[in-house]
Amino acid sequence: MDNTTLIAAVSIITSGLTIALGCMFPALGQGKAIANALNSIAEQPDAEQTITRTLFVGLAMLESLAIYSFVIAMILIFANPFWSHFIGQ
């Protein structure tokens, strides 16, 4: 196995793990946040607007983690900085 094949295999495996973990943990966090928000709204219906607004800001922050993981995986697959180093040798 030459260096180019090794870099390709490691990049693909790493990007797959990045997508898997980078989407799994934010999804679990979003589920927990939504469940807690629904419990809070059930206990205090008067604070529904405040809880909902805070929930959406928190969900946006959690979703940005998944998007960053996706961007890193795409960089590893399509714009890997190690390609130019090993191809140039």
Question: Tens digit of pLDDT for each residue in 28-46?
Answer: 999 999 999 999 999 999 9
Q: Taking Cα atoms as reference points, which of 78, 72, 86 lies closest to residue 6?
A: 86
Q: CA-CA distance, 51 to 1, in Å (whole number)?
A: 55
Confirm whether 89 is domain-assigned.
Answer: no
Domain containing 40 equals 3-82
Confirm whether 88 is domain-assigned.
Answer: no
Structurally, the chain folds into a number of domains equal to 1
Checking if the pLDDT of 18 tops 80, the result is yes
Confirm whether 56 is domain-assigned.
Answer: yes
Q: CA-CA distance, 27 to 21, in Å (whole number)?
A: 10
Q: Taking Cα atoms as reference points, which of 69, 63, 59, 67 lies closest to residue 22?
A: 69
Entry pTM: 0.76
